Amino acid sequence: MKESIEVRATAAGNRSGNVFEPNCPSRLLLDHVTSRWGVLVLVALSDGTMRWCEIRRWVKGITEKMLASTLRTLEADGLVLREVHPVVPPRVDYSLTERGQELVALLLPLVEWATATADADAREAAG
């Protein structure tokens, strides 16, 4: 018999809340992580440290405003590290924190599945 997610979360020591409750802090984190741009920025950073312009080149279609907002949010969530170097012109590097690396290890299979599924759906529609 399958255990409910609530039972598994409690057994794993997650007694702080229930993801199904509207005021649970995990809801906000899930919203940030699973947003369209959040996932893509995190996966882009899985290749290593990047500057802002490199992330923007990887994540095609994101606006400057949305990239800045997404990076600020992920940094506040403790998933992305922003390192400012005291040089002229200013240089800022972004990388994943340990927590961000743990998350990306879980996200990569999801992104791979989505890519494979979308490719298969596109081939089926075309063929």
Task: Name the stretches of the chain with pLDDT < 50.
Answer: 1-9, 11-14
pTM beyond 0.85: the answer is no
CA 114 to chain CA centroid, nearest Å:
15
CB 55 within 8 A of CB 45: yes
Question: What's the confidence (pLDDT) of residue 16?
Answer: 58
Answer whether the bond into residue 89 is a cis peptide, omega within 30°: yes
Q: Which CATH class is domain 24-126?
A: mainly alpha
Domain ranges within the chain, ordered by starting residue: 24-126
Mean pLDDT of the chain: 86
C-alpha distance from residue 114 to each of 8, 42, 80 (Å): 26, 16, 23
C-alpha distance from residue 33 to each of 4, 37, 40 (Å): 22, 9, 9
CB atoms within 10 A of CB 34: 11
